[in-house]
Chains A and B, each alone.
Chain A
Amino acid sequence: MASLGELERAVMDLLWAGHEAATANTLRDLLAQTTAAHGGAAGHEGKDLAVTTVLTVLSRLEKKGLVERERGMRPHRYQAVSSREDHTAELMHEVLGSAPDREAVLARFIGSVTESEAETLRKLLGHS
């Protein structure tokens, strides 16, 4: 049995690649296919993957604000809230942005540099 973390990742990859809403059943089948394609890699027994497990994973992702459910239709169809690129951009905005407490949250190799500093460093690179 793959860990919930790995399954979350696999489900998000499918939703990001698919661009359209999918039911838990569809996702379960797709997960089984991917596993089969990888030669039934250790532990990841797609066949045994229960729909309830997929639903658990989806509800965890929903709680994290990464997937949303289409209301009113049964069975529920799930889709990614935003694209992989948007999430990466959000993450990088947090890293590169100038939020006041960012400095306490993570330590960047290089903090913000101004254009004039960058220019000077480029010149320095040219000389070395």
Chain B
Amino acid sequence: MFWTSYFLAVLAIVLAWPVPILLSRAHWPARDPFTAMVLWQAIGLAGGLSMIGAMLVYGLEPVGDNLLAGLRALAGMVLFAAPTTALGFWHLFALSAAALLTAHLVFTLLLTYYKIERQRRRHRELLALLASPSDDGPGTVVINHDSPVAYCLPGGARSVTVLSDGLMAALEPAELRAVLIHENAHLTQRHHLLLWAFAAWRQALPWLPTTRLAQEAVNSLIEMLADDVALKTESKVTLIKAIAIVASGSAAPQGAAVVEPAGFSGAGLQLPDGAGGAGPASTTASRVSRLLSPQPPLAGGLRAAVLAGCALLLAMPTALLIVPGLLG
């Protein structure tokens, strides 16, 4: 029991700090965004699980040999007023912390969902009055604005892709198709669920800098995933041109964006090593650089190893928490 909580605590710390930092600096995610995305989810889930599990197991140590027995004993104390003398101050402290953290995570997840949905509804209401339907299929609307802008607003059956006049004027038909396929890929692959989960994760633990790294990595990975879908139908040159035209037309006005160190040097379009601090700006840079100088995807074996690692990452804390109780 004690060793379980010790091990879970170590796992929680490793997943909260060094692992996300290493992953955010790694170069391979651009080669295999899908696998990297699975890994980020496994890190977040296993991290949260082991954080809560470690405190729970430690707190229940005096009253049960394993988690299930401990929880049964705890239920006896809470529901049937069994004597609580076995639990010392630190045990009660750990149990309260575990309960509070769980409640906090669930509450933040729900609150974030509510906030996002409210903003989307308001946005949809205004679009219904301001935008006109486009010829590019249902769910696509055009808004009267000069900057080249394209985005999608997820919302189940009412999902909508918005293009600006400026964008339609600036792009060739093939480039426009690439943009539409890209945006549509966000909707069909349900990227908004990932964005929601990682936004909530960061909102819940803002003092943990790695939650910011995770959110930025996920934001960047979904763009790469959507680019890869667009590449199945449109050529690489078309997509690069579309990105370049939209990006050069929508540069942030002075002072609006965070001051970034130059994301890449003028000639090479290569990201400098360890550009960890770079924000959303470097997403565009890394997208273009992976299109310009494509790297081979991860070898099958390596990919399988990372995915197996993800499964192990989730199975380990779960097994440590549950299995001793089932065996006992």
Contact = CB atoms under 8 A, between A and B. Distances in A.
Interface of A: 5, 8-9, 12, 64, 66, 84, 87-88, 90-92, 94-98, 101, 103-125, 128
A95 B246 CA distance: 14
Given A91-B123, A115-B252, A117-B262, 14 more contacts: A66-B129, A91-B127, A95-B162, A98-B257, A101-B115, A101-B116, A110-B150, A110-B246, A114-B281, A116-B262, A117-B281, A118-B247, A120-B266, A123-B266
A110 B263 contact: no
| Most-contacted residue by chain B among A84, A113, A123 (CB, 10 A) | A113
B31 interface: no
A88 B143 contact: yes
A125 B257 contact: no
Contacts of A123: 266
Contacts of B96: none
8 contacts: A84-B130, A106-B123, A109-B243, A111-B223, A117-B262, A122-B248, A124-B240, A125-B245
Contacts of B241: 125, 128
B175 to A, nearest CB: 11
Interface stretch (B67-75, B192-200, B320-328): B192-200
Contacts of B150: 108-110
B201 to A, nearest CB: 11
B147 interface: yes
B317 interface: no
Interface of B: 112, 115-116, 119-120, 123, 125-130, 143-145, 147, 149-154, 162, 164, 179, 182-183, 186, 191-192, 195-196, 199, 215, 219, 222-223, 226, 237, 240-248, 250-252, 254, 256-258, 260, 262-264, 266, 269, 279-281, 283-285, 288
Given A101-B115, A120-B266, A113 B125 contact: no
A124 B152 contact: no
Given A96-B147, A105-B120, A111-B283, A87 B130 contact: yes
B251 A113 contact: yes
Contacts of A119: 248
A122 to B, nearest CB: 5
A90 B250 CA distance: 16
B186 to A, nearest CB: 5
A92 B123 contact: no
Contacts of A84: 130
Contacts of A95: 149, 151, 162
Nearest to B260: A114
B195 A103 contact: yes
Contacts of A9: 128-129
A114 B246 contact: no
B237 to A, nearest CB: 7
Given A101-B199, A125-B245, A107 B147 contact: no
Contacts of A113: 247-248, 250-252, 281, 284
A10 B195 CA distance: 35
Nearest to B195: A104
Contacts of B186: 107
Given A92-B145, A96-B147, A109-B183, A104 B116 contact: yes
